[in-house]
Structure 1
Amino acid sequence: MASVSGANIWITGASSGIGRALALQLAEAGNTVFASGRNEAALAGLCAQNPQRLVALACDVSDDNGMEEAGRRLRSMTDSLDMVILNAGTCEYVDNAELDNALFRRVFAVNLFGVVNTLTVAKPLLQKAQRRGHIVGIGSLSTVVGLPRAEAYGASKAAMQYLLDSLRVDLAHEKIDVTVVRPGFVETPMTAANDFPMPFAMDAERAATIILRGIAGRQRVVEFPLRLSWSLKLAALCSGLWYRVAAPRLNRANKL
């Protein structure tokens, strides 16, 4: 259960998976949660579970004009935010190292530019918070080392992480903290489409509990599961072996 309470929190990508689990747990802990996503029916179902604490704010983070309108609607409902959780994300894999510009643009539109759009709306509201503001970005352990087929997804998450790391420096004087969350495999509708083994996968509710513990402690980085995190960091330290021997064995093209 989250120890964050009495806060105004905006969560993107809240209609399913990690975002949905975070919204429910934060609402149960006594926070007002503005839940965003593209699926209005799913958002309505989510907010019906705790209508006193959950408020639907349907939007597409990749739509620049749509996010301006979402910002106007959000400001009509609250004068300030204590926290924004940048959870909206998408994943498309690259097959046979064929670099499709359209694929990369779709992934970056959500995972990077969607974050910029959300922060453009959220930052002025975070600056008005009575308590210390908090930006939380849901990244990925895929940024630790290069992984097969993850060129677009991993690159977009690495760019998002760098953006947030830089903001941590530039916003320190404004009393806004930044947390980067780097999960491994979490069982969500997005990962359900994966056609490969997902070591140490966990359900979204468990992942949300770990994330909220880190948020409550204002941790700079939250990583889990530790076994996968340590394994990938070891691979990064032994990068020669990783890229020459281990990683190629994970590439299914090399198994044909």
Structure 2
Amino acid sequence: MSRILITGASSGIGEALTRSYQARGEQVIACGRSQAKLEQLTHLNGVSSLQFDITDREQVMATASQVGQLDTIILNAGDCEYIDDAINFDSQLFERVINVNLVSVAYCLEAWLPHLAPHGRLVFVSSSAQLLPFPRAQAYGASKAGLTYLANVMQIELARHDIAVSVVHPGFVATPLTDKNTFDMPFKITAEQAANYIIAGVDKGKSDINFPGLFIFILKFLRALPSACWRAIALRMQS
């Protein structure tokens, strides 16, 4: 029985991961801001919870003494807001998204990495959005591109400490975040399907977990084209 800490566990992919790991007998520490939602998970055998604001360093650091030894850390918490007017750039929105999706991850690493057991695994849930510059996604895309870079560096740095690192790049997943989107989301999958992809990738020891396969292939193909080709496509997306 392993001990797995999951951030953003109160909804979406994090909740699905919590339920899936619990169903196979693992001990899960579910982390989130909503005490009411976390309480719905702690009724499950083997699930405990930590309620805090992940963007508050003092709150995150205060959890360090409560987690005990961990076998897996899944840094899944995130947010998405769009910048609708690039001329009148919303720096406060940009800061909010960067803080949730990137800066808060640094707080988590500082607080919990010392508790990760040898042969443990650290999992960063990034996004396929980091593959291409999408309209309105200045904040979200930049935060996820930064998160992927961080994960790739940590793969190198933590190898000598016998800690494996995985970075996850999902496509569109049906969650409360994507429910707000008003545009088409091709190849969208459920949170439960996303959790299955992640767990299978972690079990296989994959350093890169990308899904769904066809969607990721299309994005990588578009990225391989001259940048002017993608800009032309993105401009048509805005019209």
Tell me the TM-score normalized by structure 2: 0.96
**Correspondence 1:160 to 2:147:** yes
Contact 1:147 1:247 in 2 (8 A): yes
Q: One-letter code of the match for 1:227?
A: L
**Correspondence 1:60 to 2:61:** no
Give the aligned partner of residue 37 of structure 1.
32
Q: One-letter code of the match for 2:56?
A: D
| Counterpart pick for 2:165 among 171, 178, 186 | 178
Give the aligned partner of residue 156 of structure 2.
169
Contact 1:11 1:84 in 2 (8 A): yes
Structure 1 unaligned regions, length at least 5: 1-5
Give the aligned partner of residue 26 of structure 1.
21
**Percent of residue pairs bearing the same amino acid type:** 39
Question: What SS does structure 1 have at the residue aligned with 2:168?
Answer: strand
- The alpha-carbon deviation at position 122 of structure 1 amounts to 1.4
Q: How does 1:10-21 map to 2 (within 5 A)?
A: 10-21=5-16
Question: What SS does structure 1 have at the residue aligned with 2:184?
Answer: coil
> C-alpha separation between the residues in 2 aligned to 1:249 and 1:140?
23
Give the aligned partner of residue 187 of structure 2.
200
Give the aligned partner of residue 136 of structure 1.
123
Contact 1:17 1:204 in 2 (8 A): yes
> Would you tell me which structure has more strand in proportion to its own residues?
2
Contact 1:112 1:156 in 2 (8 A): yes
Q: One-letter code of the match for 2:102?
A: L
Contact 1:236 1:242 in 2 (8 A): no
- The alpha-carbon deviation at position 241 of structure 1 amounts to 4.5
> C-alpha separation between the residues in 1 aligned to 2:216 and 2:37?
32
- Alpha-carbon RMSD across the aligned residues, in angstroms, is 1.1
Give the aligned partner of residue 225 of structure 1.
212
| Cα offsets for 1:208-236 (capped at 9, x unmatched) | 00110001011010111111111111111
Contact 2:33 2:53 in 1 (8 A): yes
Give the aligned partner of residue 3 of structure 1.
none
Q: One-letter code of the match for 1:63?
A: D
Question: What SS does structure 2 have at the residue aligned with 1:92?
Answer: coil
- The alpha-carbon deviation at position 93 of structure 1 amounts to 0.4
Q: One-letter code of the match for 1:96?
A: D
Contact 1:11 1:19 in 2 (8 A): yes
Question: What SS does structure 2 have at the residue aligned with 1:132?
Answer: strand
**Correspondence 1:84 to 2:73:** yes
> C-alpha separation between the residues in 2 aligned to 1:54 and 1:21?
13
Give the aligned partner of residue 4 of structure 2.
9
Tell me the TM-score normalized by structure 1: 0.90
> C-alpha separation between the residues in 2 aligned to 1:188 and 1:118?
23
**Correspondence 1:150 to 2:137:** yes
Between the two proteins, the alignment pairs up a number of residues equal to 238
Contact 2:223 2:230 in 1 (8 A): no
